[in-house]
Chains A and B, each alone.
Chain A
């Protein structure tokens, strides 16, 4: 291993880092815009999100190729190896995130035409949590901060809870007013996509922990407080959210 090959290697690792960061910010942008598209009923954003998704997919291919090149030519070990393997894995997650963002804006047509739910049940709040998670997951990768990464798992629990609540609420409304079934099911899809995005953010977090410390997390560590507490009491929700939920339920009941 001469000094020359390490210079090339370092350059490759730097490029890899930049490309993954770039792909990550595209994914974040896609999620953000998708959420805004739905909530603010902005049709222009739909086209943008679809464009972003394509770009994200394209980047995944570039980065995967680069990772394999680094492995073949430079045989990275230890920290470098963990970094490269992390990059390989999180681009999959980022790609999925982009895909889900695109899926969300597909639903725009159905939701937009419907006069029904002006305020989708608690979706904005869930969405803002998810966008924050995506942002923080990406930041933890860029800053190599495993502690920030670990904090994602609790927030994922929160998002899962919200999903459960939303699901049940919407189910209730659909039963009460069958005319709302089309919209209802689509909104459930949106919630589902958001929940999946949160999961993938968690995956990224898990990979970041491995990259920084070499520790492989036990799946049980992730779903610590999960579904059980959600079913018994809405304690993950704070007072604000609960009030918000009450009011939303009320609004919908009146429509």
Chain B
């Protein structure tokens, strides 16, 4: 873990030199503010991607550590947020590629179920939403979340996922179609939503 983190920092240092003299590391107060604004949405994204809280925690920490190791030429909130999501997406992709902790079981969503218990008719549907989302491939989940929850542009999604910008609309179309087919299969027509 330490070796991996150090290796990641090497990448960060490599990136630093390209940013030019203006680029600076985040100060502690800037980091605290960035964390306050973005940690919860980023955690939600990672939780939906990984399906368990432990991996979401690990990836959140890794994303912020990578960000703190990088000299940033900008302090603009939108750009920092996009960059943070990009780092987190890369970290999640690395996690799946390593495969070691990919075997970590998906949690049974008990806490989520507990939250929705008193919501009446929508309980089963809401509980099943997460499972339905996890039936998609990781890249499809990332695409759909970044495009339709984060509202990222195709260019940003392409950068985050290492794709060509021209491929993103096609892949998004396919991911939405697959999701719609899954929803139909599970009997969630528009009227039931």
Q: Do A and B bind each other?
A: no
Q: Which residues of B are interface residues toward A (Cβ below 8 A)?
A: none
